[in-house]
């Protein structure tokens, strides 16, 4: 099994197929989830945005498309994913609006209160310490700024739970391996979703980081959620 310390290399190995797999495995609804994330950020003209675990840059690109943010920064530990992000940003001619850098979500290279919004999409579960990641993202938020987490949460009960577990254990690894050639990567992604924190724990991470005002939006019947917290 892939360890979290090995995820930058793992994601680099599947970077060129990652976007295709996301769209296939989510039946293309992941695009709408990212748009919803950007819309909930409330970033206005001249705003500054940091997208943590930016991967191939989809959230950063949505900010360039859907907001009037002045500064958009995407950060990730995977050099391979960032290479794909730069290619996409160049093709869309967003180089002047989006900067992507290699960096660690647990040691963000920015001062306190640097951004109006900080986002992380499907990346919190890959951090070795969820609470520390939320604290660090909250640290670089300006007072009144918003932290938004888009993440998968397995259903907790009912028939849908059994279907979703079956999907995670069989469909996701099999399709992921067929398209990307990496069984280990999609075995890891499946287990990372099943082992992720509960809703109560995520709310506690936000509160402990100084973001007690939290909104939650359910997506796709509860397969994924957006958590939005405002810094005091």
CATH of residue 55's domain is 3.40.50.150
d(CA 226, CA 157): 20
Higher pLDDT, 173 or 126: 126
For residues 165-186, give the mean pLDDT.
74
d(CA 207, CA 193): 22
> Given a cut of 90, is residue 10 above it in pLDDT?
no
131 within some domain: yes
Report the pLDDT value the prediction gives residue 66, as an integer from 0 to 100.
Answer: 95
163 within some domain: no
> How many separate domains does the chain show?
1
Nearest to 226 by CA among 30, 25, 32, 36: 36
Tell me the residue range of the domain where 74 lies.
4-154+197-230
170 within some domain: no
Which strands, in side-by-side order, build the sheet including 213-219?
Answer: 98-102, 71-76, 48-52, 115-121, 141-152, 224-230, 213-219
Name residues whose C-beta falls within 8 Å of residue 69's C-beta, 6 or more positions apart in sequence: 43, 46, 47, 48, 49, 63, 97, 116
132 within some domain: yes
23 within some domain: yes
178 within some domain: no
For residues 59-73, give the mean pLDDT.
97
96 within some domain: yes
% of the chain surpassing 90 pLDDT: 65
Half-sphere exposure of 142 (CA within 13 A, CB side): 11
Q: Give the gyration radius of the chain's Cα atoms.
A: 17
Report the pLDDT value the prediction gives residue 218, as an integer from 0 to 100.
Answer: 93
Q: Using 50, 70 and 90 to split pLDDT, how confident is the model at 179?
A: low
For residues 9-24, give the mean pLDDT.
81
188 within some domain: no
């Amino acid at each position: 099994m892939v360890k979290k310390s090995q995820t930058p290399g793992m994601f680099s190995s599947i970077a060129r197929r990652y976007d295709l797999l996301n769209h296939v495995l989510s039946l293309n609804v992941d695009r709408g989830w990212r748009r919803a994330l950007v819309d909930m950020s409330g970033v206005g003209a001249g705003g500054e945005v940091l997208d943590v675990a930016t991967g191939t840059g989809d959230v950063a690109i949505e900010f360039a498309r859907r907001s009037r943010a002045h500064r958009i920064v995407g950060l990730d530990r995977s050099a391979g994913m960032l290479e794909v992000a730069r290619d996409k940003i160049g093709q869309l001619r967003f180089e002047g609006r989006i900067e992507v850098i290699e960096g660690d979500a647990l040691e963000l290279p920015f001062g306190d209160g640097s951004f109006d919004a900080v986002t992380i999409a499907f990346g919190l579960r890959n951090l070795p310490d969820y609470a520390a990641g939320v604290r660090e993202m909250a640290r670089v938020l300006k007072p009144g700024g918003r932290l938004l987490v888009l993440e998968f949460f397995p259903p907790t009960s009912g028939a849908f739970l059994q279907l979703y577990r079956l999907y995670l254990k069989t469909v996701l690894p099999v399709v992921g391996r067929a398209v990307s050639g990496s069984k280990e990567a999609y075995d890891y992604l499946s287990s990372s979703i099943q082992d992720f924190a509960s809703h109560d724990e995520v709310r506690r991470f936000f509160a402990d980081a100084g973001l007690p005002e939290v909104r939650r939006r359910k997506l796709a019947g509860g397969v994924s959620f957006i958590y939005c917290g405002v810094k005091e």
